[in-house]
């Protein structure tokens, strides 16, 4: 049986006997209504827990629209025309609208990248800029002690509209909602304070209630104020199949419920071998982003098993502190010990990889140099097939295999 996995802008394929295959985790079969821009317009006309956007904004107000950066699959260019139509109809001058790409701790965009993300209409009509972690306004602290420091263009706006795609997040529960502000347009200091709670057991994928990180994010968002959100859920082909708009919490929760129906996947048992990919570009641009698929895969692999992680990682590791931890630690276990004593943003993802290595080997299929991959405690392979062949030779010809071609999206749930 052949299974394809996204790899950058191409694919990696494996052939394996069907007798070994426990399953291929793809989206659950659902009947969709409207899709794409039509679904966005439907959501805007049917806001959840909120007045319509046109009844919230007023002429003369400064409007900040916050959206994701290039490392996220949020289709901002498809969503913006409907939002601009609503703002124009309300009498808002295009000169009063700014589209802000939330960088978090990621690199700045090139001009071409900003233009592509914004789409031609938004690029032509309104100001489009990266967030400014070096120029922020302080709103104080959350109860957990997280600084609420927000990029000035967003902080000083009269109205804030937050965009995002909803998918599982390995410690915030789900993406979307208030995450556009924290960490999207926050400072490294603020993000580090929020993310240090990732070590708590209740900070887990698919969990909202009692999740300290999600609660902190939403407290920060409430302090700053979000006037309206537009969040989308994407299918495996990155098509908008659901949009929610309105209140930052109520609309977000509706989107999360839809995501669960689409992507939460019960599995009969954990597998000896899990083959996982982020689904290709842009999600596998670097290991910092590809790690998200690995963290979902950990819920599907047996202790002592093997995870085959497929990701182009053509930009390497992707973040300076993450790279320092991965390349400067004497062992993988040392990173687990370190994160408990000395939390560092960026290092948290290195520790997350190390925690997977406590229970399973990781075979890495990427564009990174094999010697370098080996130096960061992973086992390099040129192709997914060679990695699978090696894994079967270790785990045995009868080893069970689970495939996760969209590992950043699908969340396995093993039978008790």
Q: Compare 73 and 91 and report the one with higher pLDDT.
A: 91
What are the pLDDT digits (tens) for 365-374?
999 999 999 9
Residues 193-208: what's their mean pLDDT?
89
- 3-class SS of residue 109: coil
What are the pLDDT digits (tens) for 238-279?
899 999 999 999 999 999 999 999 999 999 999 999 999 999
Complete DSSP assignment for 198-246: GGSTT--TT--TT-HHHHHHHHHHHHH---EEEEEEE-TTS-EEEEEEE
281, 9 Cβ separation under 8 angstroms? yes
Report the pLDDT value the prediction gives residue 273, as an integer from 0 to 100.
Answer: 98
Residue 395's φ and ψ, nearest 5 degrees, are: -90, -15
Report the pLDDT value the prediction gives residue 408, as an integer from 0 to 100.
Answer: 83
Q: Are strands 173-174 and 127-130 parallel, antiparallel or unpaired?
A: unpaired
Q: What is the pTM of this model?
A: 0.83
CA geometry: angle at 377 spanning 375 and 380, to 5°? Answer: 75
- Torsion-angle region of residue 352: left (phi > 0), alpha (psi -120 to 50) or beta? alpha
Lookup: tokens for 223: 């302090």
Helix, strand and coil in the chain, % to nearest 5: 35, 25, 35
pLDDT at 84 over 60: yes
Instruction: For the chain, list the domains and their CATH numbers.
Output: 2-27+265-414 (3.90.226.30), 36-234 (3.40.50.11440)
Count Cβ atoms within 10 A of the Cβ of residue 329 and give its class: 0-12 exposed, 13-18 middle, 19 or more buried. buried
Count Cβ atoms within 10 A of the Cβ of residue 132 and give its class: 0-12 exposed, 13-18 middle, 19 or more buried. middle
pLDDT at 85 over 60: yes
What are the pLDDT digits (tens) for 268-313?
999 999 999 999 998 899 999 999 899 999 999 999 999 999 999 9
Would you place residue 415 in the very low, low, confident or very high pLDDT band (cuts 50, 70, 90)?
Answer: low
| C-alpha span between 193 and 213 (Å, rounded) | 10
pLDDT at 340 over 80: no
Report the pLDDT value the prediction gives residue 416, as an integer from 0 to 100.
Answer: 54
Average pLDDT in the chain? 95
Would you place residue 196 in the very low, low, confident or very high pLDDT band (cuts 50, 70, 90)?
Answer: confident
What are the pLDDT digits (tens) for 42-81?
999 999 999 999 999 999 999 999 999 998 889 999 999 9
Among 283, 182, 292, CA closest to 236:
283
Residues 187-199: what's their mean pLDDT?
89
- How far is C-alpha 366 from the geometric centre of its chain's CA atoms? 20
Q: Is the dihedral of CA 411, 412, 415, 416 positive or negative?
A: negative
């Amino acid at each position: 049986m052949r299974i394809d996995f996204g790899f950058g802008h191409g694919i990696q394929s494996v052939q394996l006997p069907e007798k070994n295959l426990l399953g291929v985790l793809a989206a659950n079969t659902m009947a969709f209504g409207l899709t794409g821009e039509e679904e966005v317009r439907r959501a805007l006309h049917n806001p959840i827990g909120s007045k319509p956007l046109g009844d919230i904004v007023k002429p003369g107000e400064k409007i900040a629209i916050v959206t994701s950066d290039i490392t996220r699959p949020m289709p901002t260019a498809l969503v913006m025309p409907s939002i601009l139509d609503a703002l124009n109809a309300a009498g808002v001058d295009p000169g009063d609208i700014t589209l802000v790409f939330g960088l978090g701790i990621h690199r700045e965009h090139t001009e071409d990248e900003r233009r592509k993300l914004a789409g031609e209409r938004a690029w032509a009509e309104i100001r489009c800029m990266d967030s400014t972690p070096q120029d922020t306004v302080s709103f104080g602290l959350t109860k957990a002690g997280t600084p609420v420091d927000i990029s000035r263009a967003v902080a000083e706006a009269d109205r804030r509209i937050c965009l995002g795609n909803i998918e599982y997040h390995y410690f915030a529960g789900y993406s979307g909602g208030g995450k556009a502000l924290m960490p999207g347009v926050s400072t490294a200091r603020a993000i580090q304070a929020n993310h240090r709670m990732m070590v708590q057991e209740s900070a887990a994928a698919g969990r909202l209630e009692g999740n300290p990180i999600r609660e902190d994010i939403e407290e920060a968002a409430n302090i700053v104020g979000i006037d309206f959100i537009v969040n989308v859920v994407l299918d495996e082909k990155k098509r908008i199949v659901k949009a929610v708009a309105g209140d930052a919490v109520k609309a977000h929760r509706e989107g999360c419920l839809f995501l669960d129906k689409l992507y939460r996947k019960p599995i009969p048992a954990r597998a000896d071998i899990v083959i996982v990919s982020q689904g290709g570009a842009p999600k596998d641009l670097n290991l910092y982003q590809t790690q998200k698929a690995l963290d979902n895969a950990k819920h599907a692999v047996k202790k002592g098993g093997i995870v085959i992680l497929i990701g182009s990682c053509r930009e390497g590791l992707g973040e300076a502190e993450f790279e320092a931890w991965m390349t400067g630690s004497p062992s993988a276990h040392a990173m687990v010990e370190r994160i408990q004593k000395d939390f560092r943003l960026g290092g948290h993802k290195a520790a997350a990889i190390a925690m997977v290595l406590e229970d399973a080997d990781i075979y890495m299929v990427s564009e990174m140099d094999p010697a370098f991959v080996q130096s960061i405690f992973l086992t390099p392979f040129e192709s997914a097939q060679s990695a699978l062949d090696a894994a079967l030779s270790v785990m045995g010809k009868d080893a069970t295999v689970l495939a996760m071609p969209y590992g950043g999206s699908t969340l396995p749930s093993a039978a008790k």
